[in-house]
Chains A and B, each alone.
Chain A
Amino acid sequence: MLTKIHTFIDKYNVPLKPGYEELIFKFSLMLLVLDGSTGWNAQILMRITCTLMLVFGKYAGNKLFWGIIISVLLLSNSLQWYMLDNHKILFMYWVLLLTMYLWLEKDTEYIRANSKLLIGLVMLFAVVQKVLNEFLTPGFLHGRFLFDSRFMLITHFLTDIPVELLYKSKQSMTMLNALPIHQSFVQLKSTPLMATSIYIFQVFGLVVEFLVSILFLGGKKDSNAKDISLIIFCIGTYFIFPVIGFSSILLLLGIAQSTAKIRPYYIIAFIVLQFIKVPWQELLYYIENASF
C-alpha cells in the first residue's frame, strides 16, 4: 500500500534545475512555513507539507503537493478574506503562479515576466489607493504616529513628549471608541517639527513607491534601476513599518524576476531586513532611561 502511494506521489515529481528554479521554489516553501497562511488549520497543514518538501528535496517541485498547497490557501483565504493582510493575498497569487508553472510546463520566462508585473501592479495599486484616500493631505502619517501604539516611541524620540502622556491618549481613544457620542474627540499632542518631518517622509515615500511601480511596469526586464529602487524601498520602508511578511514576499518576487548579477543584492537585502525583528524603539528607550 505504502509503495503504491509512494509511486503515485513520485509520478508528479518535477526535478528542479539547480540555481534559479531551486532557489525560488525552496525560498517559497520556507516563507510558506514561516508566514504563508492565516489560521491554525491552514498553518498546521503548511508547516507539515512544506517542511517535508524542503527536507526531502526531490518533492520541492512536486506538482501534486503544490496543487494541495494552493487549494488550501485559496479555501482558507477565501473564508477570511476581509481579515487577511495584503501580503498574504500577494503570496497566494505567487503560489498560484508557481503551481501553474509546474502544471502547464511553462518556461522560466513565465515566472520572471509575471513576478515583474506583480511587483509593478502591487506598487501601482498601493499608490492609487493612497491618492484616492487622504494620504496626500498633511497629517495622514502624522496621525498614525500619534495614535498607533507601534510608533509611539518614535513619536516620543522626535517630540520629547513623555511616553506616559502618549499612552494616556491611547487609553482615552479606547474609552472614546466605546462611547455612542457623535463628534466626540480626543485632542492629541505633537510638535510642528514632527508634523513637517513626517509629512516630508510621507510624500517622499509615495514618490519612491510610484517610481518603483513605473520601473517595474514599464522598465526593461534586465534593467538594474528597477531592482535598486525596490531594494531601497524595502529597506527604507520596512525598518519603520515593520511588516516582515510584505518585505519578504516583495524580495522573493524581486529575486524571481532579476538577473543573476543583481540577485545576490536581493539576498543581502533579505538578510538585512531580518533585523526588523530587533526591538529598536524599546532598546533606544532602555538606553535613554536606564541608569548604568
Chain B
Amino acid sequence: MKFLQSLENRLVCVLLIVVAVIQMYNSQFDTLTPWKGGGFGMFSTNKKANITAVGYKANGDSILINVVANKFDLPISKNFLKSTLNYPKERKLERLGKLIATSYLQPDTIKETPKNLDKRTYEQLKKNPEFYHTIYTPRHYQNEKMAIAGNATKIERVKIKLYNTDFYEEGLLYKKSYLKEIEVTN
C-alpha cells in the first residue's frame, strides 16, 4: 500500500525514467538518434542519419535523386522526412522509396563540384559526369502537361541508401559511412 502511494506521488518521474530507458535502448541497439525521443541525449553525438537515392528509368539509365521535403509537403512532407532521419526504420524507408518512385522528378544542374571533397570522391564525380552533373528533386505537379513542361521525368524503381555522417577529429573530417540499402519498385 505504501509502495503504491509513493508510486502515485512520483508517477511523472517514473514515466520520465521509463521513456528515457526505452529511448536509450532504441538509440544504442537500433537506429534512433540519441537527440530525439525523450532520452535527453541532445548534444551527445555528431552522428546523423543520411539518406541518398538513385532512381532507375525504364530504359535502364540511373539518376541521382535529392532526398528533400517540399513546399506544401508534396510528395514528401517535412515532418515525415525529419522523423525518418531521426529514426530510419525499414518501413519508413520503404514508404520514402514509394513516395519517390511514384513522383515526378525535376532535374537541376550541379553547377560546381566542391574542391574540398576527398580525392577519391572528386575523381569518381569527374569519371561519371553524366550521372553526377544533374540531380533530380521529387516534385508534385498538378497535371502531366505541367510536368512535361518542367522537363520532369519518372522512374521505374529506386534504391534508397542509408548512411551515417560523423565528424572525425583526426584529420578534421566530415565523413559518411554506408549502413544499408533497400530497393522499391513503382
Contacts and interface: CB of A to CB of B under 8 A. Distances in A.
A91 to B, nearest CB: 12
Interface string A183-195: 1111111100001
A74 B140 CA distance: 33
A24 B79 CA distance: 33
A156 B157 CA distance: 44
B161 interface: yes
A182 B9 contact: no
Give chain A's interface residue range (CB within 8 Å of chain B).
Answer: 35 or more
Contact of B12 (A84, A97, A125, A169): A97
B99 interface: no
A183 B34 CA distance: 23
Interface string A104-116: 1010001001100
B79 A117 contact: no
Give chain B's interface residue range (CB within 8 Å of chain A).
Answer: 35 or more
Contact of A133 (B34, B114, B159, B172): B34
Given A135-B45, A180-B161, A189-B172, A125 B121 contact: no
Nearest to B21: A125
B177 interface: yes
A177 B165 contact: yes
Contacts of B95: none
B168 to A, nearest CB: 7
Contacts of B173: 185-188
Contact of A188 (B28, B43, B83, B174): B174
B148 interface: no
Interface string A273-291: 0000000000000000000
By Cβ-Cβ distance, the 7 closest A-B pairs, closest first, are A139-B169, A143-B167, A129-B41, A172-B114, A185-B175, A184-B121, A133-B45
16 contacts: A86-B42, A113-B9, A114-B9, A125-B20, A125-B41, A126-B42, A129-B40, A147-B174, A175-B113, A176-B121, A178-B64, A178-B66, A179-B52, A182-B163, A183-B176, A185-B173
Interface of A: 80-86, 89-90, 93, 96-97, 100, 104, 106, 110, 113-114, 117-118, 121-122, 125-126, 128-130, 132-135, 137-144, 146-147, 168-169, 171-173, 175-190, 195, 241, 243
Interface of B: 8-13, 15-17, 19-20, 24, 27-28, 32, 34-47, 50, 52-54, 64, 66-67, 79, 82-83, 86-87, 110, 113-114, 116-118, 120-121, 124-125, 132, 135, 159, 161, 163, 165, 167-169, 171-178
